[in-house]
């Protein structure tokens, strides 16, 4: 009887909270529309709006064309939206950006304030996000090929401005390594993580690696496609950096797509990816990508671990609640380091498919 009563009370409170959220979101949407219309100098209509799981209110507007406005619902979300706005501004000013790339990136329209809340507005891109397409049907090969072409065009173009004599990616990647060390400590794997970080440093220091421009969160949810699975746009540029390791964006995309397909964590998918004897289609895709960027394929294993560190670092920098969850730590941190330890025998790393002579 007591449990039943508590359950009713809990459901009632949740219902009231949802109703309060709906009222707030509608009021913020109306305020944002009015401010955007005033700044744009023309009447705007609201197409739809929704609160995302990452803590922002996304409002689609229509005036002379379609726009997307994003407003933070949590204090921790605002820095991400500001970084996204800054990245779009910078991207539009970079001399090496090709028409192919710029046509598939949103353009920042303005920054504003609605009911005291900061918001940013950008042009809307056509297409449906890849995560929705994946939920509708299981085929991903065409999506992957289209995404690979975009990231290759982006990173090859950015090589024009890189300095091969000074690997600028190091000073940007090292802070990420240090932040993730705290997650490894929380997972009880600090020593193993230090060994892995040392292995990555030694492998990447063995030969010069250029810095490239990186999206930083390149996964199906941030990539838009048309009905023929051609990439039409890439959104959410809040994790970008001008000086990143090459191939990491594509590795992250491939592994996270696999994790979504199999419904496992990114950490579990990453560990499986590294231990696999062969993943023909994905291996061919990544090998081709590395050749286009002049990256030896025997660096794919350390670069794969770098994509994992990049993924974890985003949780550290933006203070997501999942990074403190014991189950999340087990699946995304402990799982990877446990599998790393299994691959290490008497201080010597067991060779993976990328490290074998036939792949060089």
Q: Which domains does the chain have, with CATH numbers?
A: 25-123 (3.30.200.20), 128-359 (3.90.1200.10)
pLDDT at res. 235: 97
Residues in Cβ contact with 203 at an 8 Å cutoff, skipping those fewer than 6 apart:
299, 301, 302
When pLDDT is averaged across residues 17-27 and rounded to a whole number, the result is 86
**pTM score, whole prediction:** 0.91
**Rounded to whole angstroms, how far apart are CA atoms 131 and 261?**
10
Does residue 160 surpass a pLDDT of 80? Answer: no
Helix/strand/coil for 243: strand
User: Which helix (H) or strand (E) segment is 242 a member of?
Assistant: strand 241-244
Mean pLDDT for 182-193 is 94
Classify residue 278 by its DSSP letter.
Answer: -
Is pLDDT of 90 > 90? Answer: yes
What does the CA dihedral 266, 272, 275, 279 come to, rounded to 10 degrees? -110
pLDDT of the residue at 343:
86
pLDDT at 9 over 50: no
Whether residue 170 contacts residue 200, with contact meaning beta carbons closer than 8 Å, is answered with no
Determine whether 6 is exposed, middle or buried from the number of CB atoms within 10 Å of its CB (0-12, 13-18, 19+).
exposed
Residue of 193 and 352 predicted with greater confidence: 193
Q: Measured between alpha carbons, how far is 147 from 288 in angstroms, rounded to an integer?
A: 13
Confidence of residue 251 (pLDDT cuts 50, 70, 90): very high
d(CA 56, CA 248) in angstroms, rounded, equals 27
DSSP-assigned letters across all residues of 54-122: TSEEEEEEESSSEEEEEEESSGGGHHHHHHHHHHHHHHHH-TT--HHHHTTS--EEEEEEETTEEEEEE
Residue 72's DSSP bridge partners are 56
313 neighbors 332 (Cβ within 8 angstroms): no
pLDDT-wise least confident of 145-154, 158-167, 188-197, 316-325: 158-167
DSSP 225: E
If you write DSSP's letter for every residue of 110-174 in order, what string do you get? Answer: EEEEETTEEEEEEE---SEEHHHHHHH-S--HHHHHHHHHHHHHHHHHHGGG--TTS-THHHHHH
Which token pair is 264?
A: 């496992």
- Cα 347 to Cα 33, 204, 350, distances in angstroms: 61, 19, 10
CA distances from 66 to 47, 106, 121, 124, 130 (A): 9, 11, 10, 5, 20
Q: Are 209 and 244 in contact (CB under 8 A)?
A: no
Question: Nearest-CA neighbor of 187 among 322, 346, 342, 318?
Answer: 322
Render the burial of 196-215: b for 16+ CB within 10 Å, e for the rest. Answer: bbebbeebbeeeebbbbbbb
Determine the 3-state secondary structure of 8 from DSSP.
helix
- Express as a percent the part of the chain with pLDDT over 90: 74
The whole-chain average pLDDT of the chain stands at 89
Residue 255 confidence (pLDDT) above 90:
yes
Containing 195, the helix (H) or strand (E) segment is: helix 190-205
Residue 24 has pLDDT above 50, yes or no: yes
pLDDT band, very low/low/confident/very high, at 360 (cuts 50, 70, 90):
very low
């Amino acid at each position: 009887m007591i449990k039943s009563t508590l359950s009713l009370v809990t459901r009632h409170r949740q219902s009231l909270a949802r109703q309060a959220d709906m009222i707030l979101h509608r009021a913020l949407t109306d305020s944002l529309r009015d401010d955007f219309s005033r700044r744009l100098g023309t009447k705007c209509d609201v197409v739809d709006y929704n609160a995302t799981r990452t803590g922002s209110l996304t409002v689609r507007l229509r005036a002379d064309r379609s726009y997307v406005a994003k407003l933070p619902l949590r204090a921790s979300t605002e820095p991400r939206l500001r970084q996204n706005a800054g990245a779009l501004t910078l991207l539009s000013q970079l001399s090496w950006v090709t028409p192919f790339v710029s046509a598939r990136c949103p353009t920042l329209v303005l920054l504003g304030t609605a009911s005291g809340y900061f918001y940013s507005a950008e042009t809307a891109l056509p297409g449906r996000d890849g995560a929705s397409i994946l939920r509708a049907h299981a085929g991903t090969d065409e999506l992957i090929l289209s995404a690979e072409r975009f990231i290759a065009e982006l990173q090859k173009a950015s090589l024009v401005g890189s300095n091969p004599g000074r690997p600028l990616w190091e000073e940007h990647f090292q802070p990420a390594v240090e932040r993730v060390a705290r997650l490894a400590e929380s997972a009880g794997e600090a020593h193993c993580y230090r060994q892995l970080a040392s292995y990555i440093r030694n492998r990447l220091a063995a030969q010069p690696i250029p810095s490239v421009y990186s999206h930083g969160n390149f996964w199906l949810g941030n990539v838009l496609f048309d009905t023929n699975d051609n990439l039409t746009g890439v959104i959410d540029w809040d994790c970008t950096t001008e000086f990143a390791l090459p191939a990491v964006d594509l590795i992250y995309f491939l592994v996270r797509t696999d994790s979504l397909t199999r419904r496992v964590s990114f950490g579990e998918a990453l560990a499986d990816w590294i231990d696999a004897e062969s993943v023909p289609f994905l291996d061919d895709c990544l090998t081709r990508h590395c050749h286009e960027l002049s990256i030896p394929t025997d660096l794919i294993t350390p670069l794969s671990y770098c994509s994992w560190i990049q993924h974890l670092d985003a949780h550290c920098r933006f203070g997501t609640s999942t990074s403190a969850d014991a189950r999340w730590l087990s699946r995304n941190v402990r799982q990877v380091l446990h599998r790393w330890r299994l691959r290490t025998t008497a201080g010597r790393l067991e060779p993976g498919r990328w490290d074998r002579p036939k792949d060089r």
